[in-house]
Amino acid sequence: MLLSETFLIGSYLIVRDDVYFFSTTSLNRLKELIQMRVSGLLFLGLSCVVVSSLQLAPASGFSISDLEASNKELMAAASRLSPSLLQNAIQSPQAFSSPDQALTIQVSSPTSLYVGGDGDVKQYNASTGTFLGNFGTSIFSSPDLTYGGPDNHFFIIDGFSSNVLEYDQAGVFVRVLTGPANGLELNQPIGVTFSPYNGNLFVSDIGNASNGVFGNIREINPTTGDLINTLTNGPKGFQPLQVAFANNSLYVSDLTSNSVLRYNPSTNVFDTFASSSELTSPGGLAFGGSSLNNDLFVVGSASTILRYDGATGAFKSIFATSTLQNTTLTDLAFGPDGNLYVTDTRNSSILKFDGITGAFEGQFVTQQDGNLTNPTGILFAPSLVPEPVIGGSAFGFGVLGLLAIKARRRRQVGSSK
């Protein structure tokens, strides 16, 4: 069986409407199995093993029947759960999603780092920071981007035309989702994300204050492009920047009030969730995982990342500080390794911070890596760029592949947009 839509969150494997939980024992057993080298491509499903037409040459006495048995062993150890129990755990639809065509992805590089800025969106190896190439075409400036929707496509803001553009997973242009021709004109779109609760696309528009046009947030149907709702009842002079979902609510960094606002879809009301004297220029925001108490992390100034209680919004600490000169931090995301990655617009680089301690670990991507220019939006999402595997072995993106990633992601703490 091919996996058409899969999420791996912690020890939970979500396949369409089925949810499975794997114990630590099961995951450790899997790690042992993965260490047994098998040459060729293996596509593993939930209850069967689909082997490619290539001639396989199992090594170390590890046969196909052993693979099938191990697959059954893992599934027997898994507990089936209701998807509703994990609804709040899915912070964004792009969380390790794998459509059918992602079966070609090799476990050595399950995700890529996508960075928006001036020029085309740049794609990098999520583990090494190696430049993989430009993603998409005709993008003059991209302050933000996200991944998801019914076709698991990329939705990228083009700051030049003030539109949202749709691209498939290979970076091929699909359509202009917004614009006057579509009856959905934007002023200065800044942030974009998917709701994990209803699947709609949310776009923050900072507006044009000099012309008396204040900001708003548009809720858009990603399939039809229809406008569902316009969220305008924020504070006077509302200037929304970045947006993120968690706890059944939409969180927004607002430039006017220098705070993080929370929007409750059921009541259609904004309130101030997080505000402190340290928050002088709010930017990107993301929620950490359980190892970080599901706290909220926000770009608080040109050089700092602030940490707030994820449940109450109470200020906790200055989590991280860039030691580089003249930094301008804009957006952030937790990577597959659990560390925190932040765009530095002024230095045209991506900075890396320890995901637990906040210690600054230097520049992960520099301006010289792919001619990165004024980066703003940052996203970790599935990669379709094939990369070599040491020793020539590769695994398909089924149960074995997904849980192999889990073994490498024991410090995974969450996702950004």
Closest CA to 282 of 312, 250, 252: 252
Q: What is the DSSP letter of 47?
A: S
Q: Which residues pair with 202 in a beta bridge?
A: 193, 219
Mean pLDDT computed over every residue of the chain:
73
Instruction: Of 40-44, 210-214, 358-362, give the range with the top mean pLDDT.
Output: 358-362
> pLDDT for 293-346, tens place per residue?
999 999 999 999 999 999 999 999 999 999 998 899 999 999 988 999 999 999
Give φ, ψ of 69 to 5 degrees.
Answer: -65, -40
> pLDDT for 259-287, tens place per residue?
999 998 778 889 999 999 999 989 999 99
Roughly what angle, to the nearest 10 degrees, separates helices 64-77 and 399-408?
Answer: 70
Closest CA to 193 of 202, 184, 182, 204: 202
- Give the pairing type, strands 18-21 and 153-158: unpaired
pTM, two decimals, is 0.69
As given in the structure block, the two tokens for residue 166 are: 């749709």
Q: Which amino acid is at 87?
A: Q
Residues 36 and 29 sit within 8 Å (Cβ to Cβ): no
> Is the pLDDT higher at 208 or at 257?
257
HSE-CB at 143 with a 13 A cutoff on CA atoms is 22
